[in-house]
Amino acid sequence: MKRTAKLSFYIILFIIFGLIGLWMPLLGDDLHWGTYFGSNYFPQGIFLKYDGRYLGDLLVIAITKIKPLAFIAYGTFMTTIVYLIQKIREQISAPKSLGLLSASMATIFIFMTPKVIFKQILGWHAGFANYVPSIVFPLFMLYLVLKNYDNKDVHYYRTSGFLIFFAAITAQFFAEHITVLNVFNSVLIWLFLRKHFGDQFKKIFNGIVVGNIIGAFLMFINGAYIKILFGRDSYRSLKGSANSDTMFNYLKIQFAPKTLIIVGILILIFSIIVIVYTNKLTNIKHKIANFALLLSAFVVIAPFIVVSPFGSRCMFASYMFFVTIFVINLDLLVSAYEKYLLPILMIIVLGLGLRLDALAHNYGKTFNFQIQYSQYQNTVQRRTQYFLQYKDDKYIWITAPVQSDANFAELYVKDNTRNMVPINYYDWTDALRKIKNKKFHNHDEYMKAFDQQILKKVKLIQNKANQ
């Protein structure tokens, strides 16, 4: 019964996250990854001088070209992160009941990720492909360490050892700051904890250390990093740039001083509480988990003190490590009340998940209809091109208003000399409603009727403006 309940929970999560990936629109460089740039990236050798995110780049090409793969990727990686958080908690202390408190709380925090981070992680395929899969391995390594700490009886088959070694290498090809974190963590654990591992896991962990170092080497020998090192890269830098700067400059530009002070104080207070609380613990595995996650949260973001560009997506790993600390410790404190809390948390998970699926569906519907309308307008002779605006941009990464989006225009606008005019979301959806129940012989007639409604809307707006 417990196994069925757990399986059902993770299947539901997979579907919820998968639908977000399936329905989210392609934004910014997603459009290029999904078309000609992505098609030529590996065949023409662009990857040799672009960056060392070989698997992250391959993933973004796949999920922007084939939407069902976006469903699978979003569902798989997000669910895996939640699952690993729960498994880390269970290595500290076996749950008394079903054991999904940490998983459900972690899911809620993911759904409630600050919008500034959410839009570059789940609201942008390119952001997702590099910054979500990359944090799977640090969590997996922590789980392995806790499982094998002072446990000499764990047996590993040769196949398992090979797969873990392979994972240690491939985990390094998603995001540079996580690549550095993996090497840092593996070396630190090897130095201070290896004496607490059994002989079999020592061999496994030696493989992880070597694999992480090999992977980091293969990433950073990419030609792009040579250019960055010598200051010849126009976009990336080791000391910041005028357009996209380092972490502190980004934060000063993007957030009000009051907000930065409040968040900074909260992080400081949280860190002090974790350190003081953890020092009083008697459970060694609990101590390792807390200190490892807290240290990782700071180490993973430290490179951006000098490395640019920095964006809110770069904060996702730190956010998830802080979330993991919080939910695991809260779970352990309230585990006696799990049977009362879990149903409430499950309802919250489902409610928030369905809300985000609805938002993603709305964004995707707007994007797809915008393409259809632009393609129709390409067949019409006139001086103006109309663009359908999104309801909002709270959860999606829009680098420019749709009428000014050069990436979109390059693919779907035939005449760039036209006047580019945005149409308010509520105006174009009202126009769509007016033709909803009418019958049309073909899609062109449907788009023509919609276009006529848009022209009427524009005329009404112009008349009101002239009054």
Mark whether 335 and 396 lie in a shared domain.
no
Mark whether 286 and 155 lie in a shared domain.
yes
Mark whether 26 and 97 lie in a shared domain.
yes
Please tell me the distance from the alpha carbon of residue 418 to that of residue 387, in angstroms, as a whole number.
12
| Sign (positive or negative) of CA dihedral 266, 269, 273, 279 | positive
Where are the strands (E) in 74-154, listed by range?
none
pLDDT digit string, tens, across residues 276-306? 999 999 999 999 999 999 999 999 999 999 9
Please tell me the distance from the alpha carbon of residue 294 to that of residue 275, in angstroms, as a whole number.
9
pLDDT class of 231 with cuts at 50, 70, 90 = confident
Mark whether 331 and 365 lie in a shared domain.
no
Amino acid at 205: F
Cβ-in-10-Å burial (0-12, 13-18, 19+) of 44 comes to exposed
Q: Is the confidence at residue 244, as pLDDT, over 70? A: no
The kind and range of the H/E element at 122 are none
- For the chain, what percent of residues have pLDDT higher than 90? 83
Residue 128 — φ and ψ, nearest 5°? Answer: -60, -50
- Of 192, 74, 211, 90, which Cα lies nearest the Cα of 129? 74
- Count Cβ atoms below 10 Å from residue 177 Cβ, excluding itself: 21
Please tell me the distance from the alpha carbon of residue 361 to that of residue 147, in angstroms, as a whole number.
40
User: For 333-353, what is the mean pLDDT?
Assistant: 95
Mark whether 147 and 108 lie in a shared domain.
yes
Which of 347, 375, 406 is the endpoint of a domain? 347
Domains contained in the chain, number:
2
State the pLDDT at residue 240: 61
Phi-psi region of 45 (alpha: psi -120 to 50; beta: other; left: phi over 0): left
Please tell me the distance from the alpha carbon of residue 140 to that of residue 165, in angstroms, as a whole number.
13
Please provide the DSSP assignment of 37-84 as one string: HHHHHTTTTTHHHH-S-HHHHHHHHHHHH-HHHHHHHHHHHHHHHHHH
The answer to whether the beta carbons of residues 338 and 2 sit under 8 Å apart is no
Please tell me the distance from the alpha carbon of residue 121 to that of residue 171, in angstroms, as a whole number.
18
Mark whether 326 and 368 lie in a shared domain.
no
Q: Is the confidence at residue 462, as pLDDT, over 90? A: no
- Quote the radius of gyration of the chain (alpha carbons, Å): 25
- Of 10, 92, 101, which Cα lies nearest the Cα of 340? 101
Mark whether 318 and 385 lie in a shared domain.
no
Q: What is the pTM of this model?
A: 0.95
State the pLDDT at residue 243: 52
What domain range is 131 assigned to? 2-347
What is Dmax (Cα atoms) for the chain?
84
Mark whether 284 and 170 lie in a shared domain.
yes
* Residue 385 β-bridge partners: 420
Mark whether 244 and 315 lie in a shared domain.
yes
Which range has the worst mean pLDDT, 191-195, 358-362, 400-404? 400-404
Residue 309 — φ and ψ, nearest 5°? Answer: -85, 155
Q: Is the confidence at residue 242, as pLDDT, over 70? A: no
pLDDT digit string, tens, across residues 74-115? 999 999 999 999 999 999 998 878 889 999 999 999 999 999
Query: How high is the mean pLDDT of the chain?
Result: 94
pLDDT digit string, tens, across residues 395-443? 999 988 888 998 899 999 999 999 999 999 999 999 999 998 899 989 9
State the pLDDT at residue 130: 97
pLDDT digit string, tens, across residues 131-151? 999 999 999 999 999 999 999
pLDDT class of 241 with cuts at 50, 70, 90 = low
User: For 352-376, what is the mean pLDDT?
Assistant: 97
Structure tokens at 111: 């759904």
Structure tokens at 379: 């067949």
